[in-house]
Each structure stands twice: as structure tokens, then as C-alpha cells.
């Protein structure tokens, strides 16, 4: 079969729909995972032992078990115990978010710990409350420190989203499997899907690099002004 016969307009449309679903799944999981990560990361640093214990249990559970097992558990096991039955897409969003949040929590904690202690002490000496110190001094700097790690995590989510196909989410990889069962051209189809994943990852990496450069610009300008 020729290239045009394999990659018909219908095939390209199907791949585009799969790619759109992959991107939307990854974006939602990244946003919710970041929110969970901030909460869990701050809880991990709490002065209350019970809060630290709960946050640690969540982080270790989702970091220590395979994402595939987590998705199976949420989709097949949870409805057996709770009167909850989410659609496959939203189950995948929840699973990926919980998984991403556990890793984001450690990124948040490490980034906050990387902020020089002297700046925190100076803020407190100036009369800033603990909350203002956190939001005005620590978090802005921690975000700049954490951005490369969050970029890598998002690229990882783009690839991890391919596991959502096991719970019938028609993301890019499952779409490709369906196309292979129709045209019987696995080599070309999987080469195409690999290229699409590469392009998505490359675009995400460039966007995060631009954002990182933008966030670092004020600090670089201030460094040049120093005598």
C-alpha cells in the first residue's frame, strides 16, 4: 500500500481526535495534579504530625504503585465499594491527577526548601505573617525553581496518558490500535503515532523553556545591575 492509501483523510482525522484527547487529558491532569501537589507538599511540611502522616501516606501510595494498577482500581474496584461510576475519561483524569499530584508534592516541597532561609527570616523580621511570607516570598521563588521539573512531569503525563486506553479511553494510542486492526499496517501507524508523541513533547518542552526564560528575566536583569 502507498503512503496515501495508508494515511487517508479519515485516518488523519482519527489521529487528530486521538491527539486532542491525549492533550486535554494531560492538561487536566497537570492542573489538578499541581493543585493536589501544592496542598500535599505544604501538608508534608506541616508542624502537625497527623497532617504530615496523611500527606506522606498519599504520596508514598501513589509514587510506590504502578499507574496502570491505579487506573484499574479506580475504574473497576472503586464502583464495587462506592456508589460512584465515572465515565472512563474522567476516571483517567482522576487517576492521572492523583498520580501526578504525588510527584508534584515532592517537587513543591523540594522547591520551597530550596528558597534561602535568610529570605524567609528577613520577611518575618519585617513583620510579614507566615501566610504572606509563603505567598509573597517563598512561592514565587519556588515556582521559578520548580518549573523545569513541572515541565518534565507534563511531558511524562503526555506519554503516561497512553495507559488510559486500558480503561477504554480512545486516546492517541488506542485510536492507533483501532486503525491498525482496520488497515493492517502496524509499522507505519506506530511510526506515525511515535512522531506525534515526539512533536507534542517537543512543543511542550519549548513552551516550558520560554516560560522559564520569562520568569528568570527579572532575576537576570537584577544580577547584571549588581556591581
Q: For 140-162, write each residue's pLDDT tens digit.
A: 888 888 999 999 999 999 999 99
| Residue 83 DSSP SS3 | coil
45-59, 78-92, 132-146: range with lowest mean pLDDT: 132-146
Give the burial string for 49-77 (b: 16+ CB within 10 Å, else e).
eeeeeebeebbeebeeeebeebbeebbee
Confidence tier at 100 by pLDDT (50, 70, 90)? very high
Q: pTM of the prediction?
A: 0.88
Could you tell me which of 105, 107, 94 has the C-alpha nearest to residue 56?
A: 105
- Domains of the chain (ranges; CATH) run 3-225 (1.10.3720.10)
Confidence tier at 40 by pLDDT (50, 70, 90)? very high
What's the confidence (pLDDT) of residue 226?
A: 54
What's the confidence (pLDDT) of residue 227?
A: 53
Place of cell 493492517: 184
- The residues, ordered by sequence, that sit 6+ positions from 111 with a Cβ below 8 Å of its Cβ are 142, 143, 145, 146, 149
What's the confidence (pLDDT) of residue 218?
A: 64
pLDDT at 197 over 80: yes
What's the confidence (pLDDT) of residue 224?
A: 55
pLDDT at 221 over 60: no
Share of the chain above pLDDT 90, in %: 65
The residue ranking higher by pLDDT, 118 or 16, is: 16
- Residue 86: left if φ>0, alpha if ψ -120 to 50, beta else—which one? beta
Sign of the CA dihedral running 60, 65, 67, 73: negative
Confidence tier at 50 by pLDDT (50, 70, 90)? very high
What's the confidence (pLDDT) of residue 6?
A: 83
**Cα dist from 193 to 160, 186, 205, whole Å:** 14, 10, 18
The residue ranking higher by pLDDT, 201 or 125, is: 201
How large is the average pLDDT for residues 30-36? 96
Confidence tier at 133 by pLDDT (50, 70, 90)? confident
What's the confidence (pLDDT) of residue 7?
A: 87
What's the confidence (pLDDT) of residue 104?
A: 96
Amino acid at each position: 500500500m502507498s503512503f496515501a492509501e495508508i494515511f487517508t483523510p479519515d485516518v488523519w482525522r482519527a489521529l487528530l481526535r486521538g491527539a486532542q484527547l491525549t492533550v486535554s487529558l494531560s492538561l487536566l491532569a497537570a492542573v489538578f495534579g499541581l493543585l493536589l501537589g501544592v496542598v500535599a507538599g505544604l501538608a508534608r511540611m506541616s508542624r502537625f504530625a497527623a497532617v504530615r502522616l496523611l500527606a506522606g501516606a498519599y504520596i508514598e501510595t501513589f509514587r510506590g504503585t504502578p499507574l496502570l494498577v491505579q487506573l484499574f482500581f479506580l475504574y473497576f474496584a472503586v464502583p464495587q465499594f462506592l456508589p460512584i461510576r465515572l465515565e472512563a475519561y474522567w476516571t483517567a483524569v482522576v487517576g492521572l491527577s492523583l498520580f501526578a499530584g504525588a510527584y508534584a508534592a515532592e517537587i513543591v516541597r523540594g522547591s520551597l526548601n530550596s528558597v534561602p532561609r535568610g529570605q524567609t527570616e528577613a520577611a518575618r523580621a519585617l513583620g510579614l505573617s507566615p501566610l504572606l511570607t509563603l505567598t509573597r516570598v517563598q512561592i514565587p521563588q519556588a515556582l521559578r525553581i520548580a518549573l523545569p521539573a513541572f515541565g518534565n512531569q507534563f511531558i511524562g503525563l503526555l506519554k503516561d496518558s497512553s495507559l488510559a486506553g486500558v480503561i477504554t479511553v480512545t486516546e492517541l494510542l488506542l485510536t492507533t490500535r483501532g486503525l491498525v486492526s482496520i488497515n493492517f499496517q502496524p509499522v507505519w501507524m506506530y511510526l506515525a503515532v511515535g512522531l506525534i508523541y515526539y512533536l507534542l513533547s517537543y512543543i511542550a518542552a519549548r513552551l516550558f523553556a520560554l516560560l522559564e526564560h520569562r520568569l528568570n528575566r527579572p532575576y537576570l536583569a537584577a544580577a547584571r545591575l549588581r556591581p
